[in-house]
A and B are shown apart, each in its own frame.
Chain A
Amino acid sequence: MERFVDHCCEKCTHSKDTPCKDFVECCVEGPICHDDQSCADKRKKIIEKVALDEKFVIC
Chain B
Amino acid sequence: MYEKHIMICGATGCLSSGSNQVAEALNEELEKHGIKDKYRLVMGGCPGFCEVGPIIVIFPDEVFYCRLKPKDMAELVETHFVGGEIVERLLYKGPDVDAPARFYDSIPFYSKQKFNVLRNSGVIDPESIDEYIMRGGYRALKRALEMEPQAICDEVKDAGLRGRGGAGFPTGVKWGFTNKAPGPKKYIVCNADEGDPGAFMDRSILEGDPHSLLEGMLVAGKACGADEGYIYCRAEYPLAIKRLRIAIEQAEEYGLLGENILGYDFNFKMNIKEGAGAFVCGEETALLASIEGKRGMPRPRPPFPAQVGVFGKPTTINNVETLANIPLIVKEGGAEEFAKVGTEGSKGTKVFALAGKVRNTGLCEVPMGITIEEVIYDVGGGIKAGRDFKAVQAGGPSGGCIPKDLLHLPIDYDSLTKAGAIMGSGGLVVMDDRTCMVDLAKYFLSFTQKESCGKCTPCREGTKRMLEILDRITEGEGKPEDLDTLDSLAHSIKDSALCGLGQTCPNPVLSTIRYFRDEYEEHINEGFCNAGICKPLFIYQIDAESCNGCTACARACPVDAIKGEKKEPHEVIQELCTRCGSCIDKCRQDCIMITRVGSEADVGN
Contacts and interface: CB of A to CB of B under 8 A. Distances in A.
Interface in A1-59: 3-5, 14-17, 19-21, 23-25, 27-28, 46-53, 56-59
A24 B134 contact: no
Nearest to A21: B263
Nearest to B251: A16
B135 to A, nearest CB: 5
A20 B254 contact: no
A7 B142 CA distance: 20
Contacts of B136: 58-59
A28 B129 CA distance: 13
* B contact residues, range: 35 or more
A20 B142 CA distance: 11
A24 B59 contact: no
Contacts of A52: 5, 7, 59-60, 123
Given A19-B261, A19-B263, A50 B130 contact: yes
B1 A56 contact: no
Contact of A19 (B59, B137, B262): B262
Contacts of A25: 139, 142
A50 B139 contact: no
B262 A4 contact: no
B253 A24 contact: no
Contact of B134 (A21, A53, A58): A58
Contacts of B134: 27-28, 47, 50-51, 56-58
Contacts of A24: 133, 137-139, 141-142, 256, 262
B131 A50 contact: yes
A53 B134 CA distance: 12
B60 A27 contact: no
Nearest to B143: A24
A15 B2 CA distance: 29
Nearest to A4: B130
A23 B262 contact: yes
Nearest to B261: A19
Contacts of A47: 134
Contact of A16 (B60, B142, B252): B252
B227 interface: no
Contacts of B124: 50
A53 B1 CA distance: 13
Contact of A27 (B2, B130, B141): B130
A47 B1 CA distance: 10
A20 B125 contact: no
A57 B2 CA distance: 17
Nearest to A56: B134
Contacts of A23: 254-255, 262
Contacts of B60: 52-53
B1 A3 contact: no
A19 B255 contact: yes
B255 A50 contact: no
Given A24-B138, A57-B134, A58-B134, A48 B258 contact: no
Interface of B: 1-2, 5, 7, 40, 59-60, 62, 123-125, 128-131, 133-139, 141-142, 252-256, 258, 260-264
6 contacts: A21-B142, A24-B137, A24-B141, A24-B256, A48-B1, A57-B134
Given A24-B256, A49-B2, 15 more contacts: A3-B130, A4-B129, A5-B253, A15-B255, A16-B253, A19-B261, A20-B262, A21-B264, A24-B141, A24-B142, A25-B139, A25-B142, A49-B40, A50-B131, A51-B134
Q: Which 6 A-B pairs have the closest CB atoms?
A: A58-B136, A52-B59, A16-B255, A19-B255, A19-B263, A21-B263
